[in-house]
């Protein structure tokens, strides 16, 4: 008689073949869960972005082509960011309030080219100011919260009137979600969605993005007085709770990979649509490592995005969205 006792459960049985791994897979990644950030520029500012290999600043003509391709691949939405000529920037970012400005025209271009594609528009002043901050600076170098919120209110309304499906305040000023929701309701824009960058950290991973929009060289000081301290987690929950109470439809954690714990806590606490932004620094690291042959690009990108989904993100802003949609097709 053989007295050997075998394990009652062999977990490896559920890993032994592709068909069973597919059947029991807990987390899935699909093109419809991805949002492609796109940089928009006039002709003279358009072109490749050196610190973000494979990304570029699109002219309106090229933006239309890109929108059609993304829609065909099943990507749900794009997030638009302007790269302006320095001559259009000033201390208060007034170009953000120009109804004939670059982003309002970009919205119209995309809606005409790919009407099924969701258009998300950033609400912040940093691409428009000559000091690179998301709000208005006082004479002593502080960010004036309430003055900034008034400008953000006007910017959000302008973008909604231009046809944006989603306005996405990324500025981290206090009270801006409630102010924007109020003005949208009063303007009969009840269906305009608000994606709140609720837990946006003062991260070192934003450098390539600031190159792309031209705010890095101009930035005076840092953004630690309004973006969150990377050491804090409970504070993220307080910020998210405030934005939900003020009328946000979706909340954002940014960056993504260094803050998977925050994504998980936010999703568990609020059960709200929770988005994450795989930011420019995350993209640049993976892209550069792959270009040097140190990592397999497709494998590490898919693994990274799955980890963000597994942490609780319902959707992901990622510069890899187009590539991933092609891989998954």
Q: Which residues are catalytic?
A: 200, 254
* Rg for the chain, CA atoms, rounded: 21
Nearest to 320 by CA among 288, 295, 276, 287: 287
Residue 191, exposed/middle/buried by CB under 10 A (0-12, 13-18, 19+)? exposed
Helices 234-246, 260-270: axis angle to 10 degrees equals 50
Are 134 and 186 in contact by the 8 Å Cβ rule? The answer is: no
132: three-class secondary structure by DSSP: coil
The DSSP code for 218 is T
Are 149 and 179 in contact by the 8 Å Cβ rule? The answer is: yes
Are 66 and 113 in contact by the 8 Å Cβ rule? The answer is: no
Nearest to 103 by CA among 62, 36, 42: 42
**CA-CA distances (angstroms) from residue 212 to 45, 55, 120, 169, 301?**
10, 9, 18, 19, 21
CB atoms within 10 A of CB 221: 13
CB atoms within 10 A of CB 138: 10
Type and span of the H or E element at 137: strand 136-137
Task: Annotate 272-282 with b (16+ C-beta within 10 A) or e (fewer).
Answer: bbbbbbbbbbb
The DSSP code for 129 is B
């Amino acid at each position: 008689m053989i007295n050997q006792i075998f394990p009652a459960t062999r977990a490896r049985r559920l890993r032994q073949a592709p068909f069973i791994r597919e059947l029991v897979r807990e987390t899935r990644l699909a093109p419809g869960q991805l949002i492609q950030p796109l940089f928009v520029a006039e002709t003279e500012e358009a072109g490749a972005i050196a610190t973000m290999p494979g990304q570029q600043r699109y002219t309106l003509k090229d933006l239309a082509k890109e929108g059609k391709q993304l829609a065909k691949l099943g990507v749900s939405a794009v997030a638009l960011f302007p790269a302006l000529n320095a001559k259009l920037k000033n201390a208060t970012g007034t170009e953000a309030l120009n109804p004939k400005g670059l982003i309002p025209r970009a919205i119209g271009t995309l809606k005409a080219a790919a009407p099924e594609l969701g258009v998300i528009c950033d609400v912040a002043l940093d691409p428009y100011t000559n000091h690179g901050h998301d709000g208005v600076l006082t004479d002593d170098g502080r960010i004036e919260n309430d003055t900034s919120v008034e400008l953000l209110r006007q910017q959000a309304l302008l973008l909604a009137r231009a046809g944006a499906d989603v306005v996405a305040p990324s500025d981290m000023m206090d009270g801006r979600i409630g102010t924007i929701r109020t003005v949208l309701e009063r303007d009969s824009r009840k269906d305009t969605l608000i994606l709140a960058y609720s837990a946006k950290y003062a991260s070192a991973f934003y450098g390539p993005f600031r190159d792309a929009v031209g705010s890095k060289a101009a930035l005076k000081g840092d953004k630690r007085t309004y973006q969150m301290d990377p050491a804090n987690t409970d504070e993220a929950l307080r910020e998210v709770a405030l934005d939900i109470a003020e009328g946000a439809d979706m909340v954002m954690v940014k960056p993504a990979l260094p803050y998977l714990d925050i994504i998980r806590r936010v999703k568990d606490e609020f059960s709200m649509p929770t988005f994450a932004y795989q930011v420019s620094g995350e993209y640049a690291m993976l892209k550069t490592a792959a270009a040097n042959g140190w990592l397999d690009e497709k494998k590490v990108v898919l693994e990274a995005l799955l980890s963000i989904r597994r942490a609780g993100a319902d959707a992901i802003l990622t510069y890899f969205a187009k590539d991933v949609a092609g891989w998954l097709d």
